[in-house]
Amino acid sequence: MAESIVVIDDEEDIRELIHYNLSKEGYVVTCAVSGEEGVELVQGIKPDLVILDLMLPGIDGLEVCRRLKSDAKLKSIPIVMVSARGEEPDVVSGLELGADDYVSKPFSPKVLIARVKSVLRRGKKAPIDAQGILTEGTLLVNPQRREVLIGDASVELTNTEFKLLHFVMRQPGVVFTRDQIVEGVHGDDYPVTDRSVDVQVVGLRKKLGDYGAYIETVRGVGYRFRDGASALAS
């Protein structure tokens, strides 16, 4: 059965571009032109994914995201935000509300399709193995043994560096804000500035050598561990 997508965007040319290209990929696409209409569509269809413009007439994209993520029946539906450049604070807010990814305007259909496929794939992805071991090429992260290997060589990381690598590597392609990383690594109310994440990432990249490039900076937002979609968009 074809996967369904609801597109919420008030710009006709953008809606048509998204509808045309996703339909060609075999998705069932339904469009809404306002936030209110979009919420009603999602409630009725319960799609596999929502593409959500942040700038909408009526209730804006952040409020749409907040309403969907606060609804127990809808909160598991992934959301890919569409934003104009310069809207980084809104993107950060959307990610912290529970959105899964974002694409900046202007974007190529190729990039959008890759992001959509990546987000849908994440929701279906099974654990890598029973021990939770993560791998990327010759990079191996074993959380039970607190061990990181590149090939046969052990990589010595601090406890914070290990937690940070494990946190972002568990969900490749997901964009995390600095606050989300601090919370994921240290827990709530940890007394550290989000900019300390930048320092940890610099040190981690150096220790990982060539694999350090897999931890990508998302300008104005945070970081992600590279997957096929993020590599395509870079």
Report the candidate in 122, 234, 113 with the shortest Cα–Cα distance to residue 169.
122
d(CA 165, CA 128): 16
Q: What is the mean pLDDT of the chain?
A: 87
pLDDT of residue 179: 86
186 vs 30, 55, 96, 189, 192, CA distance in Å? 40, 33, 16, 8, 9
90 vs 22, 93, 134, 211, CA distance in Å? 25, 5, 32, 30
Tell me the average pLDDT across 210-219.
Answer: 92
Report the candidate in 92, 134, 103 with the shortest Cα–Cα distance to residue 17.
103
Q: What is the pLDDT of residues 28-43, one digit of tens each?
A: 999 999 999 999 999 9
Report the candidate in 199, 197, 203, 125 with the shortest Cα–Cα distance to residue 167.
197
Instruction: Tell me, letter by letter, the H, E, C secondary structure of the chain.
Output: CCCEEEEECCCHHHHHHHHHHHHHCCCEEEEECCHHHHHHHHHHHCCCEEEEECCCCCCCHHHHHHHHHCCCCCCCCCEEEEEECCCHHHHHHHHHHCCCEEEEECCCHHHHHHHHHHHHHHHHCCCCCCCCCEEECCEEEECCCCEEEECCEECCCCHHHHHHHHHHHCCCCCCEEHHHHHHHHHCCCCCCCCCHHHHHHHHHHHHHHHHHHHEEEECCCEEEECCHHHHHHC
179: which 2 tokens? Answer: 């606050």
Q: Does the pLDDT at position 212 exceed 60?
A: yes
CATH superfamily of 4-124: Response regulator (3.40.50.2300)
Query: What is the length of the chain?
Result: 234
Sheet containing strand 153-154, edge to edge, reads 134-136, 139-142, 147-150, 153-154
Q: Does the pLDDT at position 130 exceed 50?
A: no
Q: Does the pLDDT at position 25 exceed 80?
A: yes
pLDDT of residue 121: 80
Q: Does the pLDDT at position 129 exceed 80?
A: no
d(CA 189, CA 202): 23
30: which 2 tokens? Answer: 């339904």
Report the candidate in 6, 16, 3, 8 with the shortest Cα–Cα distance to residue 35.
8
Q: Which CATH architecture has domain 134-233?
A: Orthogonal Bundle (1.10)
Q: What is the pLDDT of residues 148-166, one digit of tens each?
A: 999 999 999 998 899 999 9
* Residue extents of the structural domains in the chain: 4-124, 134-233
The model's pTM: 0.71
Tell me the average pLDDT across 73-80.
Answer: 93
pLDDT of residue 127: 45
Identify the residue with better confidence: 232 or 217: 217
- Percentage of the chain beyond pLDDT 70 is 89
Confidence of residue 188 (pLDDT cuts 50, 70, 90): low
